[in-house]
Amino acid sequence: MAAKLVFLGRLADIAGMTERAVATGPLETILADLPPELAVALLGERIRLALNGELLVSHGGIVLGEGDELAFLPPVSGG
């Protein structure tokens, strides 16, 4: 009954951690339980999402199930 959020780049600074276990369920519900500053940052226009290692094209209607890993990816700064 747990899923995982992963925070990359500056999002890890805002979260104060690189990943966080969360209850399963709709993403909106999960975000509502986070500190508001972090939730706002995660919903930023330039943040991309990857669910279980696959980039998401649409960010709507995401529901996390048992063992799912959702990564929040800010713009990359390159190699």
Partner 1 sequence: MIDVRLLTEQFEPGQFIGAFTAAHPGLGGICSFVGEVRGAGGVEALELSHYAPLTLPGMAALAQTASDRFGLMGILILHRTGQMAPGEPIVCVSAASTHRRAAFDAVDYAMDHLKSQSWFWKREKRAGQWHWIEPRADDYADLSRWD
Q: How many CB atoms sit inside 10 A of residue 76's CB?
A: 9
Contacts of 20 (CB under 8 A, 6+ apart): 4, 5, 7
Q: If binding is defined by CB under 8 A, does position 52 make contact with partner 1?
A: yes
Binds partner 1 by CB under 8 A, chosen from 3, 15, 41, 71:
71
Question: Binding to partner 1 by residue 10, rule CB under 8 A?
Answer: yes
Distance of alpha carbon 65 from alpha carbon 24, whole angstroms: 5
Which of 32, 55, 56, 63: binder of partner 1 (CB under 8 A)? 55
Write out the residues near partner 1 by the rule CB under 8 A.
6, 8-10, 12-13, 50, 52-53, 55, 69, 71, 73-79
